[in-house]
Structures are given as structure tokens and as C-alpha cells.
Amino acid sequence: AQANLRSSALAGVGAPLELWLELDRIREAMSSDGMIDTDLYSRQIGTFGMETMGKLVKMKVLISGLRGLGAETAKNLILAGPAAVVLHDDCIVEARDLGANFYLSQDDVGKKTRAQACVAQLSQLNPYVAVSVTTGPITEQVLAGLGLSVAVFSETGLGDLCRLNDFCRAQATPVGFIAADCFGLAGSVFVDFGDNFTVRDKDGEEPRNAIIAGVTKESPGMVHTHHERRHGFQDGDWVTFREVQGMVELNSSKPRQIKVTSPYAFTIEDTSGYSAYTREGIATQVKVPHSMKFCSLSRCLVQPCAAGGDSLAVPDLAKFGRSEQLHLAVQAVRQYREQHGQLPDIRDPAAAAACMQLTRDLNEARRKEEGALFLEEVDETVVKNVALFSRCMICPMAAFIGGIVAQEVVKYTGKYTPLHQCLYFDMFELLPEKEVAASCSGSRYDDQIAIFGNEFQKAISNMKVFLVGAGALGCEFMKCFAMMGVSSGDAGKVTVTDMDRIETSNLNRQFLFRQGDVGKPKSATAAQVAQSMNGQLKVTPLEIRVGNDTEDTFDDVFWEGLDCVVNALDNIQARMYVDSRCVWFARPLLESGTLGTKANMQVVLPYKTQSYGDSQDPPEESTPLCTLKHFPHAIEHTIEWSRDYFELLFAESPREVNTFLSDPDAYLAKIPSEGTGTSQMAKLNCVKRMLAQQNGSFEMCVSFAVQEFQEKFHDQISQLLHTFPVDHVTSEGTPFWSGPKRPPQAIKFDPHDKLHVDFVLAAANLYANNLGIAKCSSREDVSRMASATKVDVFKPRDVKIKVDDKDTTREGCIDDDEAVKKLTAEMSQLGKALRASGKPLAPAEFEKDDDSNFHISFITAAANLRARNYKIPEADFHKVKMIAGKIIPAIATTTAMVTGLVSAELMKIVNLKDRKVEDFKNGFVNLALPLWLLSEPSPPLQTRSKDHDPVIMGPVRAKPEGYTSWDKVEVRLGDATLKEFVDHLMEEVGIEVMIMSAGNACLYNAYLPAHKKRLGERVSKLWEDVTKQKLSPKKTYLTIEVSASDPDDGVDVQIPTIKFQFR
């Protein structure tokens, strides 16, 4: 079915009805058989979930209008994976279209329609999506014949939009209708999913759980949750209860709505008639479907605010009231098109004046209409900015709106809250303050030049940009650079670096890559494809990590030659390093990131804004070790335990064997210093066992897996219950097994239980791989072998177990210390015998994206078995894969949307010296809600004097007062001695140095008498002696931090970082 689908998709141009019917059949088969390509869609499934993917792969979507906005929408949607996408745009390609539609080429200009020109490349984005073209006017009959789920329109007249919207609403199952447009620097989106649309999951967040500590008998009943953590619920949430003792009426009943009273309490219904609560219980959040009513476009033109609301969404916090102004301005421009057959000419003052009059007339008509939205005063500047550039389409706006529109299409599945119903957005702060020369010459940049002028285009083409990362964000940025003409001039250059190679899971969102590119470098491939979109783009791809160890490559000359740095990274450490370089060299940085439907962006401007490192995210919650080892109460705990179990059993244990074989005496000499006697015993026994079984059979591997099952899921649980019986009470007289501590139950191996066999199958094959034994994937054979395995009867021992992480008890069995000594002696003799003949084992290297290697299969089975031990709801394969593999949920829509916003900020950096900080925008977006919050960047944090510092426990003085991370003290003494350096700081800065360091190296400590002799050494030589490293010939300075005091009164002094220029 997949092979047929691939060929059908690639043959999708002008696809006949028979193809669609065949596609339906294949899609149904894929859905019913669970044949969604989890390798391709893994990160997207992590965001949407399998249920939503099952609905999405059946959808058929029309996209009419294929300038930049339509192309962005189509690209994002095809990557997401609906059944089919129909393209429609009969307009012949113009040169200016190449400035935003990345799948058009110069060869298409004047020859092909936009739809014909880009269908082939759009088809290649996803082999599971049939992409076809329909021609001619879109009528009600055409829509009816297509059998659509959703229709998306741009570049369409207002009258046609209203007529087609009415048709879509009138269907038995309403066809989702979305109208979106980009009018230069203004954009609009309208969504209508019918009178009664059901939302299954309003926000896409994982349901929360809370452990119950008490429930009162009153009206309303008050539920108290365990003090270990906040419950995280919100007013109006729905929850169910389970495992409640005493007040059993709460268990297994329908969801009830709650009202939050505190972070650790909420109220439910009247509980005064219920049984008295005694102990235990878990409250679980439930996603209850709710209905949304949408109005027609005709009605929303009059009153766009959703029922119960009195204003439109405010995406930019600096522009309250702007959306209402844009609502009428956009209508006026659309009415102008209805009257004149075309949008206003670019920069035509007469057309702008006509649009202004249309806006006033509309407003007066609305003022007289009951329930209509009207303005107290029309903002002429807003109308003018929309009208003058309404014919223009620029890449940042197209990418931003295109990401939003594609996500709204996905919401037709019932996942997330649709836009209700209008969004208006503008980037008017991009407009030049003064009149500019804007002469268009029939180039791809004409729309951009029309807005910003020729000098701007020249400046952006000669920018030197460093793009760090060529993954999902990096691909989108490379596309934007190509469309905008960034670094396309003789003096321009984009340097892009990424160490990674392309993987199958990347193809779902890193849209510059194809199946044939798997295994190739991301940076080089992205650069090549971006240059195919715009041959003028100057780009140098690298595969070099950006960090301390590559400062000879990314040296001072490199950083000082940059106009801007754009981060496209996926980890905090790399972001912090790049940010520190930008701060040091005073270079603008554009930072952004995504997490599923969420995205953020930050603009970092030298001396004007906070840097990325000025603010820190709160640390991630870590699970206490005792919770993982003995007292799990959430599936996340069992998954983390299983991931560690995998690493210990199939990676660390074979490595231990290899270390032992390389030098048995040295290995055994270290054993007494590593952990408790029990852990030492386990390690030695494991090494001994693997050596003994190295030449065994697969049956032996199955026996090993069954023994592991017995040990982990039966014996260890039985031992825990022996140490702490179910009725055990603490020294305070309270039940030991209460709150987060859930009493477990041991599991006996059953060869007929699917989950049990899953564990043995995976464990046996992983063990066989370690030992170099032929593997077996037959479940029947493995089950048969496992049935023949005998296990020892469990005998409890006297074992000490920590009850929490504060417990100082030394865990383990008392008898093991003596046993370790005997086993060590035995292993010493074994080592001598195997020194020449022992062959190394093959440790497993965890790989989350290969579902055939048994890695995730083992972790899934082990996690769910442990969940059964503790009566925790089990998890499916994909959830385990996401958590164990630490996979960050990612989707193309969010990525495209946020890169559109960042690209707009890049345009502002082109003429940074003429810009005010208020022109720039930081942003947070959550497309699931949907929510947009743009705001002015915060000023840099200042270091100021304090009368009392809580760390130093005394006064602290800042020199200079109010300095920021952008400031530094420059010392140019040449290759001076430490004494000359210290004296200089005393004379010029007014500080007495107590401690001096460079990175982690302490160069001088005035409190240590031995350091006095260092004063005569040259600072550069001292650095080399302390760090045991040679200074690179390219290195001309050292970065120095000092702890100092005021020589006059001894008060501690803080100063900026010192740049010590020794060459």
C-alpha cells in the first residue's frame, strides 16, 4: 500500500478521480492497519499524537492562491501529511513572485501558472501525500466535486470568498473554510469550521495527575493534594478519580469539573453525602470535548469579535486597537479590488486615498448597524500602509501567516483550539521613516524594493550572516535568506555550520532535504538547495561545532566581520556559548526555538537589550533517585528507570567486561572503592556471567532474559515488600505505603502474556548482539524457549533500603561484602586464563530512531512491566520513545511561523544604527491556543552597588555604576607581568585585586603566600603554566575575571570582564 501510495503521490499532477478513490482505499488501509510512517512522523506524532495523525492522513485540502503565502501553507501542510492537497492558481508566474514562492524559478516566468510551476517540488516533500492541480474558476460545483475537508483561499475576491464560505457552511458536514491574505506588511486570517465544531483537546498538553491527600465532606467538597508538588490544574478543568479509599463514590465515575482554590487544593461537587475519605487516591485531568460555534465571513465582516468578546486578538502588546483598524482597512482594500478588478497600484497615493474613503464609509455604515464593530476614529496611517503596499508579498510575512494557516487546517481534526475567528497582524515598524528611492526593474526583489527601497536591498544583499544550525529552523532560515536576497551581493556571505547528518526523521520538518539526502551533511545540503532557489545567494557550509575547542576556526577576525548571528540550535549549552561570543564581540543575535506548537524568539542587540544569558530558565524537575529505584508513581518514572536499566544491562556491562579483559588486575583493584558490597557483587557477577556465556546459544540468551525478568519484576519487588510489608507503619505511626509511595505487587513470568514475551524477545536479542550470537525475531520460538526456562524460588534476605534521598542508610545486603572478596579472587584467576583468548563484547549504542534494533522495544516492555508492578497506567511505544529518547516534539508549522518573525527582525538589523529599540520584537507563540505575544525587548541587566549583598554578607560596589554584560575593561599593556597588570588595575580602575582567574584557571590568589612569586611572571606564560595548554598563535588577548576590593575602604568591588590584550 505504501509503495502504491508513493507512486500515486508522485504522479499527482492533474490527478483524476480514479486516483483519488484509489488513494482513499490505500489511506483507509493504512489507518486501519496502523501504517502511519512513525520514522518519518516521529517528532510530529510527539506533538499531535496518533489519534490526530489518524484523522489527518484522511483529510483532503484545497489551497487556492500560490504566491508566497499559498506556497508556505502548502509546504507546511504537505509535510504534516494529509491524504491529498489540491493546488489552484491560474495566474502566470511573474518575476516578483520569486521573492516569496521558493518553488518558482526564472524559467517559469511568463510561461507557467503558479500552480503548474510548483506542483512537482511540492509533491516531493512527502511521498504519502497526493498533490494535484485543478484549473479554472473555483465554483460551488468544483468544491462539491473535490470532496474536501478544508478549503484555503488567498488572492481571492471578497465576493467570491463570501459565496464560497456560505457553500462550505451549508454542507451536511461543513467544509472547513480559511481565508488568508498578505497585503505587504499587513496580514489577515479568517477561520470558519461551521456552527457546531467539536474540539477534542483544547491545548494539546499532557493530562496532569495529582496524588490525593484528603477530601472533605461538605458542599462543595474540598480536595487536598500531596504537598510534594503543585497539582497544576486550572479553573474549569475536568478530572476523574481512582484508587480513593473510603470515599469510593469518587472512583470510576464520570469526569467532574473543578474550581482551583490553591496550588494544592480544588473543589468538586457536594460530597457531604459521600462516605468518609480515609486515604490514597489519584486525580487525573481529562480532556473533555467542547463545541465551538463559528459565524460566516459575511457576518464577521460586520462583527469580527467572537461571541462574548469585545475586542480582537492583540498579537503585539504595543499595538492595542490595531487589529480593529486593520479589520476595516483590509476590507476597504478588498472592496477596492471588487470595484477596480485589481488591488491598488504600489505607492499610488490616489488609490490609497480611495481606500481611505472606503474605510470611512464602511466605518460610518457600521456605526449605524446594531452589533457591528466600528471605530471612534479611523487611523489614516494604517489604511495608507495597507493600501500602498497591498500588492506586495514579502517572505517574512508569508512565512508567518503560512505557518498559522497550515496549523489551522490541522485543527480541523479536533486537536487544539481553532482561531475564533479573525487574526490581523502587521509589521509596519519595518517601514522606513523617510521617503526612499524605490525603482523596480522586473527582478525577484521588486516587492521588497517597493516597500524598503533600493538602498535597503543593496545593504541586505551585502550582509555577512552566521547561521548556527541547519536543522528545521536552519532550513527555514536558508529559504528566507534566499527569498529576501540576504548575502546575495558581491560582499555578502552566509556562513552556515552544522555537524549533523540527515536522518529520515528530519524529512518531516527540515524541508530542504529529501529521502536521497539521508546520510549527507545538513549544512552542505541546505546550502545547495537554498542556492537552487536563488543562484545569487553566497553561502559557505561548514561541519564544525561552535565552541571553545573551535575558536581557532571561529576566531576574532571571523566574529568581528559579522553583521548578524542567527541561532538555529536545539540545546541550551550551544545557545549560551554563541550568545557569549555575540556579547563579547558586540554583534546582534537573533535567537529562537520551538517546542511542538510553542515558539519563542529573542532579539539581542549590543548595549540595547538583554543577552540570552542574562535570563535563565528554571531547571528541569529531576526525579529523586529513591523514587526511581523503589517508589515510582508515574509512567515517566518507570520509563526513566527502564532507560537506565537498558544502559546498565546492554551498554555498561559489556564495557565492564572489555575493561576487565584489557587489564584484569587493575579492574579488580578498583572494585572495593566502587559503591556498596551489593553493587560490587552485582557488577562482578555480571562480568563473570557474560564471559561464561560468550560462546553460548540463543536459547541461553532467552534464559538470561527470563532470569532478568524474574529478578527485576518479581524478586526485587518481593524483597521490597519483605522489607516494608503492605501494612508497615513509620515511626510516627502513619502508613508507610501512602502518598507517592505505592505498594507494588510481584509479577510471575507468563510465556502467554504478550508484554512478558515482548520483554524476553527484546532482552534476548540485545544480549545476543552483545555476545556476537545469531539473533532470533520469532515470537513463537522465543515463547517456547522461555517456557522451558527454570527460575529459582525467591528467598528474602536481610537488605537495607533507603526510604528517600535524605536517608543516610547504606543500601545493600550485609553478607555481600564478604562474598565480594571471594568472587574477586575467583575473577583474578579467570582473568589470567582469558588474558590471551578473551574476545571483546559489543556494547549497545542507544539509537532511538531505529525501531528494528529492539532498543525502544526493550525499554517499552520494561517500563510497562514496572508500571504493572506499581499499578501505574501503561504507555504506548511512541510515548516511551519520545520520553526515553528525549525527543523534542517538533512540527513544520511552528518552525515556519517563528522564522517568519525572526526574518522580519533581521530586516531591522540591516539599518540598525537608524533603529530605536522599540522597533524590535521579542515574542512567544502557542499555535495550539492560539496565542501570540510580541513585546519590546528588555534593556540589559545592570550591575549596581548594594548596601548589603546576601552572598558576600556586606556592601558591594559596582565600578562603573550600572555596567552591563556588554561592557568590558580593556587593558593594553602588551605581554606584561602579573604585577604590572595588577598595578595597572589599581591605578586606572581603582581596585585591589584579591583573586584573578581566566575561565576555570586561577591565575592569582592574594591570600596564598605561594602565589606571590607569580607576580613576576608574564600573564600569558602564567596562563600556559596553570592550564597546561599552549596559547594559539591567533590568540591576542585573555578574558580575565577578578575578585577585588576598594583600596580606600576595603569594600568588595565588582567590575566588568577584563580583556587583557597581550599581543
User: How far, in Å, CA of 781 to CA of 702, rounded?
Assistant: 10
Rounded alpha-carbon distances, angstroms, from residue 582 to 181, 560, 605, 965? 37, 9, 9, 11
User: Is residue 13 packed enough to be buried (19+ CB in 10 Å), middle (13-18) or exposed (0-12)?
Assistant: middle
Cα–Cα–Cα angle for 379, 385, 387, rounded to 5 degrees: 100
- C-alpha grid cell, residue 686: 555480571
* DSSP SS3 for 85: strand
Cβ atoms 455, 911 nearer than 8 A: no
Element (H, E) at 861: helix 855-869
Cell 524590535 identifies what position? Answer: 920
Upstream peptide bond of 930 is cis (omega within 30 degrees of 0)? yes
* DSSP SS3 for 696: coil
Nearest to 421 by CA among 302, 566, 590: 302
User: How far, in Å, CA of 255 to CA of 268, rounded?
Assistant: 10
Cβ atoms 628, 644 nearer than 8 A: yes
- 150-153/176-183 β-pairing: parallel
Residues belonging to the active site: 626
Cβ atoms 884, 856 nearer than 8 A: yes
- C-alpha grid cell, residue 675: 559503591
What residue type is 496 in one-letter code? V
Nearest to 684 by CA among 700, 701, 666, 668: 668
* DSSP SS3 for 197: strand
What residue type is 472 in one-letter code? A
DSSP state of 651: I
Cβ atoms 582, 573 nearer than 8 A: no
User: How far, in Å, CA of 606 to CA of 588, rounded?
Assistant: 6
- C-alpha grid cell, residue 297: 465571513
Rounded alpha-carbon distances, angstroms, from residue 335 to 69, 351, 357? 21, 12, 11
User: How far, in Å, CA of 576 to CA of 569, rounded?
Assistant: 10
Rounded alpha-carbon distances, angstroms, from residue 956 to 222, 943, 946? 49, 10, 5
Rounded alpha-carbon distances, angstroms, from residue 227 to 231, 262, 622? 9, 12, 17
Nearest to 133 by CA among 8, 22, 10, 15: 15
**Residue 951: which residues within 8 A CB-CB, separation 6 or more?**
none
